[in-house]
């Protein structure tokens, strides 16, 4: 095995294990649940096209504290950094950067105000728009959310980037708000109307609790609201699985961009897709 191959293998072995547990009650493996089989249906055409062409891919993760990494023990454990490591391992010859633009306490109004500097200026290929959580704790948050999501989608499309919405986390404080269910449904409805996808973080975490029987303490920080190292890791792995599956399906169909056929072949993955799957053994 050459040096490049050996380095890739070592990197994958490291990524195959979740980060060190901060507490004894933290789960060892990411549960395989119904939610982990969900797909991103709408093609991430621009992202797939740039990968096939060997061009740099910039992913901007914008959102609130769960994007910034509140509850993580270190910066490397937040979801954008974990996602970057996983995608680089999956596509070892690609130039992939995930930029963290999460700010504690914010939601769509503040995110739209900083859109030009924190998103558009980076010329992203893909925008991961995490929203809906802090809106629950604001007056008329649900009533305003639909128009703000429509605006966010329109502005991302105007800079010629793909977009995936990310819905709220499943946590007691979120569940305690009567608008949490309607907010999750609203995000689905807006995405359907505008022809984009939602990554269902709420459903994923609900399955951890209801199907896998994990207590909230095992996947939430001590405030029982923010995520912890384990849940950021498992969330990142499942999001990475969904993004990778979307890109791979376009490679197979050669439908990589509206009206454009790219003859260049994507770099071969360093390992099967299951390395980005939900079940991660210690």
Are 138 and 170 in contact by the 8 Å Cβ rule? The answer is: no
* pLDDT tens digits, one per residue of 199-221: 999 999 999 999 999 999 999 99
Could you report the per-residue pLDDT of 35-60, keeping only the tens digit for each?
Answer: 666 789 999 999 999 999 999 999 99
* CA angle in degrees (0–180, nearest 5) for 68-133-171: 90
Burial of 2 from C-beta contacts in 10 A (0-12 / 13-18 / 19+): exposed
According to CATH, the superfamily of the domain at 40-254 is SGNH hydrolase (3.40.50.1110)
The confidence score (pLDDT) of residue 20 equals: 41
β-strand 162-166 against 197-199: which pairing, if any? parallel
3-state SS assignment for residue 249: helix
Task: Tell me: pLDDT of 265 over 80.
Answer: no
- Check: CB of residue 41 under 8 Å from CB of residue 197: yes
First to last CA, the chain: 25
The per-residue pLDDT for 254 is 56
H helix intervals, 159-200: 172-175, 180-194
Q: What angle do CA 182, 133, 39 make, to 5 degrees?
A: 70
pLDDT at 9 over 50: no
Could you tell me the pTM of the whole model? 0.82
Task: Give the helix ranges, DSSP H, for 75-171.
Answer: 79-90, 108-113, 115-118, 141-158
Give the pLDDT confidence of 153-195 residue by residue, as tens digits.
999 999 999 999 999 999 999 999 999 999 999 999 999 999 9
Whether the pLDDT of residue 21 is over 80: the answer is no
> Residue 97: CB partners within 8 Å, gap ≥ 6?
56, 57, 58, 59, 84
Domain range list for the chain: 40-254
Beta partners for residue 130, in sequence order: 166
The rounded percent of the chain whose pLDDT value lies above 90 is 72
User: Is the separation of the CB atoms in 205 and 216 below 8 Å?
Assistant: no
Of 14-18, 99-103, 118-122, 250-254, least confident by mean pLDDT is 14-18
On whether the CB atoms of residues 109 and 147 are closer than 8 A, the answer is no
Q: What is the pLDDT of residue 276?
A: 47
Q: Is the dihedral of CA 143, 147, 150, 151 positive or negative?
A: negative
CA 167: distance to chain centroid?
10
């Amino acid at each position: 095995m050459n040096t490049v191959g050996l380095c890739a293998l070592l990197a994958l072995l490291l990524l195959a294990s979740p980060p060190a547990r901060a507490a004894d009650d933290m789960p060892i493996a990411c549960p395989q649940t119904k939610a982990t089989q969900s797909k991103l249906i709408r093609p991430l055409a621009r992202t797939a096209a740039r990968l096939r062409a060997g061009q740099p891919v910039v992913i901007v993760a914008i959102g609130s504290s769960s994007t910034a990494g509140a509850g993580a023990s270190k910066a490397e454990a937040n979801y954008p950094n974990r996602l970057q490591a996983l995608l680089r391992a999956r596509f070892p010859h690609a130039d992939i950067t995930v930029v963290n633009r999460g700010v504690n306490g914010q939601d769509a109004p503040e995110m739209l105000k900083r859109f030009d500097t924190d998103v558009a200026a980076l010329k992203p290929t893909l925008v991961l728009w995490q929203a809906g959580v802090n809106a629950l704790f604001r007056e008329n948050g649900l009533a305003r959310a639909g128009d703000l999501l429509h605006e966010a989608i329109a502005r991302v499309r105007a800079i010629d980037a793909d977009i995936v919405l990310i819905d709220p986390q499943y946590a007691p404080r979120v569940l305690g708000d009567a608008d949490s269910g309607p907010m999750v449904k609203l995000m689905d409805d807006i995405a359907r109307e505008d022809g984009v996808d939602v990554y269902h973080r709420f459903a994923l975490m609900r399955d951890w609790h209801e199907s896998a029987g994990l207590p909230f303490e095992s996947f939430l920080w001590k405030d029982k609201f923010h995520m912890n190292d384990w849940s950021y890791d498992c969330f990142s792995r499942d999001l990475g699985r969904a993004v990778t599956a979307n890109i791979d399906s376009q490679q197979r169909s050669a439908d990589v961009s509206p009206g454009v056929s790219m003859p260049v072949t994507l770099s071969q993955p360093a390992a099967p897709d299951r390395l980005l799957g939900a079940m991660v053994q210690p």
